[in-house]
Amino acid sequence: MTTQMATHSELTHPTICPACAQPYEQCCGPLHHENAVPSSPEALMRSRYSAYVLGDYPYILATYATAPRQQLTVQALAESAADTRWLGLTVLAASPITTAPITPSQNNSQCLQGEVEFKVFYAENKRLYCLHERSLFIQESGYWRYLDGTMGDANGEVLIKRNDKCVCGSNKKYKQCCLPKVA
Ligand SMILES: [Zn+2]
Ligand SMILES: [Zn+2]
């Protein structure tokens, strides 16, 4: 099985950002197109989510911290998300930026870091899931990068009724919103 690889020119350029619900060219667009860099862990987190929605796997790879990035490839990222339909992101909390010790193998002994807690809803194999994660971001050479994450209590499959309010934050009923994308 081969995975269709999207290049920058083939990516869709949405009007409204799927991560930020505002004009794409005012938030994640400039980051994806390397005309700006994320100013905070939350901005990076949102831009990585919208990159997943848009299939911009090179951006996702490039925004991992060095250690995890060395274990990954664009192809592996694309394959891991090939059957995933992204339904929505809710950022729950962003910690203050702190200075913390990092691994001894790094050159500088301290680095800036911050955490972002979020929920992402997605469909896979006709089931609805929640990715509930507290992500850890660090600065490397002045750029925010994703290091790793800890799963939250809500992580896992979501059981929802047709008439319940949809998980994506639309305020519509599930059957009138994301259910068709799951089923
Ligand atoms: Zn955005
Ligand atoms: Zn929905």
- How far does residue 179's CA lie from ligand 2's centre (Å)? 7
Domain residue ranges of the chain, discontinuous segments joined by +: 8-182
**Are 19 and 28 in contact, with CB atoms under 8 Å apart?**
yes
Q: Minimum-distance ligand to the CA of 123?
A: 2
pLDDT in tens, 70-102: 999 999 999 999 999 999 999 999 999 999 876
Distance CA(135)–CA(146), nearest Å, equals 7
Q: Minimum-distance ligand to the CA of 85?
A: 2
CATH of region 8-182, choose from 2.30.30.90, 3.40.50.300, 1.10.10.10, 3.10.450.50: 3.10.450.50
- How far does residue 21's CA lie from ligand 1's centre (Å)? 7
Distance CA(153)–CA(181), nearest Å, equals 25
Q: Minimum-distance ligand to the CA of 27?
A: 1
Q: What is the mean pLDDT of residues 53-58?
A: 96
Burial environment of residue 37 by CB neighbours within 10 A (0 to 12, 13 to 18, 19 or more): middle
- How far does residue 180's CA lie from ligand 2's centre (Å)? 9
pLDDT band at 9, cuts 50/70/90? very low
Q: Minimum-distance ligand to the CA of 86?
A: 2
Q: Minimum-distance ligand to the CA of 158?
A: 2
pLDDT band at 104, cuts 50/70/90? low
pLDDT at 106 (0 to 100): 56
- How far does residue 106's CA lie from ligand 2's centre (Å)? 43
DSSP letter for 95, please. P
pLDDT in tens, 114-161: 999 999 999 999 999 999 999 999 999 999 999 999 999 999 999 999
- How far does residue 53's CA lie from ligand 2's centre (Å)? 15
Q: What single letter denotes the amino acid at residue 176?
A: Q
